[in-house]
Amino acid sequence: MTTQLPLRSEVPAELTWDLTLLYADDEAMQKALKATAKKAQHLATFKGQITTAKQLATVLILAKEIDEELEKEYVYAFLRRDSDTTDATATALFGQAAQVATQIETQLAFIDPEILALSDEQLADWQANEPALAEFEFQLTSLQKQKAHVLAGEQERLLSRLNHALDGASEIYNTLNDADLDFGKIRDENGNLVQLTHGNRSQYTESTNRKVRKEAALAYQKPYHQLRHTFAATLNSFIDSENALAELRNYPSARAAALGRNQIDETVYDNLIKTVNAHLDLAHRWYALKKKYLKLDHFYQYDIPTPLAGTDILKTSYEDGKKMVLKAMQVLGDEYVTGLKEEFANRWVDVAENKGKRSGGYQISVYQANPFILLNWTDKLYSTFVLAHESGHAMHSWFSQHHQPSEYADAPIFLAEVASTFNENILTDWLLKNYDDPKVQLYVLEQSIDGFIGTIYRQTQFAEFEHQAYMTQQAGQTLTADYLDQVNEKLLKKYYGPAVELTGTLTQSWAYVPHFYMNYYVYQYATSWAISTSLAASVLAEESGAKERYLAFLSAGGSATPAQILKQAGIDITNTEYLERALKVFEHRLDQVEALLAKVDNGSAVN
């Protein structure tokens, strides 16, 4: 028996997102896009005319309106494309939206340089005397801090014109990874021939049948190895463009540029790597523990995902997952739960995997409408955790949209990943409290530990890889597949430790990471997991004001710097205390697992 992915047209409507919440159809979106482009042309006539406080306010208000409209149009096309990357009409529509977005960005590139050309005294006087500028105070203050990195007007316009081309490496990667890779077919536990995909990979790589998980792991690696030089060239091109942009904007490095835009000190990045490296023994302890209890003389990479509890204890349908998330999140109160119910009832979520659909999961929000979530659901507890994670993003957007103007509704990634991983912590606690069977508890605890491993340790490993790649390319060395494999091998051995033996290609574990095309993105997963662990513990312990502080954090969006918003929530990111506290929780989880293993006989479940 061969299992094939359904076509997009074969997926039940209730398992797809409702894009009519944005536009009735493609034609309506294209009409709106033309109107927005025309409005941008009008705003472009203000070039060189920002000479009074009132004119500045007019420009900022018009720019805000255009951003809101363009976001809605762009996201519609983006979601259409990601629903089925083999749909030529959808791909063309997204290309049109991207082209107009670049055109508008080029036309409006004069705004920031003209504001920055004002003296600090002139801008302060305008703000004091024009009430309409009050809303934009934080935006203007943040812009002033970037004064040294914004180019002169014509240079900024020319650079904006190149944005779409500079994003080319990312687009090529996404198309290659989502539409063109074929992982072939493997045999499942029953001997059935099944197509291996991004979406169902974990179903087979976590199999208790060692033959199945080995075959799945090696099959998944194969196309990445076959195209290793293409993946390396694509990554080299992307990093080259980011390094060039950083240099043009007078930053010492791409990392300084990426973190500086969010006003994050680079010591946060360095502290993360230093602290996690100091606690690699905990990760090594976990791998040694799995090797011991799985009774394996040789413990390979493909053995790591094997659950110690044996079979997939908690299989969850999408309906089950929604119920679990709703019940778990009741600790945050009625307003939060109301938002989740709206999400589930109004088809904000695209659930099922189909042929050509973008892999993985994400959330993207539209200020004039609502958040949207992409999933590729499999009936595993992991998918419920992904739902909780992406719903955390969605509720962050939902709260921000209800409490902030559009220019502050999008929180920077450093904050956004706190909201998503917070939900994972809450869901873990709810499951442990509601399932007292030792084997179920072991299974849930392992999900939590896998979260620490995959988010703190794995993402810090990626952060080390990414930073070394950027520095190497900045120094003038081309990032070849051989070089990237060598860097990756050293890091894998360091993070896995002595218990794990490497197998297969070294390419897949760097080539498959889409977040490398988001420029110093991955470290924020690790810092956010540590921050959210602390915040969740405070809420679950019902500490005075903890829930209210967390909801205020969600409502703040991007209305202040990440450090300021987190400080109000009770977290100081300028030291390593939050990292140490999170790793203490990880150590406690390891202790809990070892205690449970004394009660659970899992040996017979492992082949």
- Which residues are part of the catalytic machinery? 390
What residues have CB less than 8 Å from 17, skipping those under 6 apart?
79, 83, 347, 348, 349, 350, 372, 373, 374
Strand-strand pairing, 193-195 and 349-350: unpaired
Q: Can you tell me the distance from the alpha carbon of 118 to that of 53, in angstroms, rounded to the nearest whole number?
A: 11
**Residue located via tokens 């799945």:** 216
The 10 Å CB-count burial string (b at 16+, else e) for 448-469 is bbbbbbebbbbbbbbbbbbbbb
**Do 339 and 44 contact (CB within 8 A), yes or no?**
no
**How many helices (H) and strands (E) are present in the chain, helices listed first?**
27, 6
**Do 107 and 44 contact (CB within 8 A), yes or no?**
yes
Backbone angles phi, psi at 29, to 5 degrees: -65, -45
What residues have CB less than 8 Å from 124, skipping those under 6 apart?
none
Q: How many residues does the chain have?
A: 607
**Do 403 and 59 contact (CB within 8 A), yes or no?**
no
Q: How far is CA 253 from CA 78, 239, 561, in A?
A: 30, 11, 21
**Do 195 and 478 contact (CB within 8 A), yes or no?**
no
The H-assigned helical ranges of 435-506 are 438-451, 458-474, 481-496
